[in-house]
Amino acid sequence: MSKYKINVMVNFVECDEEIDSSPIELEDGSYKFTISENDGESIDNCEIALLKTAFPAIREAISRHLKAVSKKSPNSLTRRFIDDKQSPLSGGWRRRAY
């Protein structure tokens, strides 16, 4: 069975760029989000901006990874069969307790 390494790096860099209304994907596949000075000095607003920036990056990385895995071996991605005792929860399908 293959092993996979996940690399993540986050930087907060002071700059003079215009403030972004949402994260922007760059040519290299990374994302940037320029926030205001006030937001950059607030732990809550920094966290919100970081999570807004990380979410599309994570989704894109998972998509690229699973596309590569499926091309490598069409049977390598297993399907989960869902019965009537399962429901969608954050993070995927999990058993419901009755």
pLDDT of residue 44: 97
Q: Which DSSP letter does residue 15 get?
A: -
Strand locations in 15-89 (E) = 24-25, 31-32, 86-89
> Could you tell me if 46 and 10 are in contact, meaning their C-beta atoms sit under 8 angstroms apart?
no
In this prediction the pTM is 0.66
Question: For 22-33, what is the mean pLDDT?
Answer: 93
Quick: pLDDT tens for 38-90: 999 999 999 999 999 999 999 999 999 999 888 887 665 554 444 445 555 55
Distance CA 41, CA 23 (A): 18
pLDDT of residue 56: 92
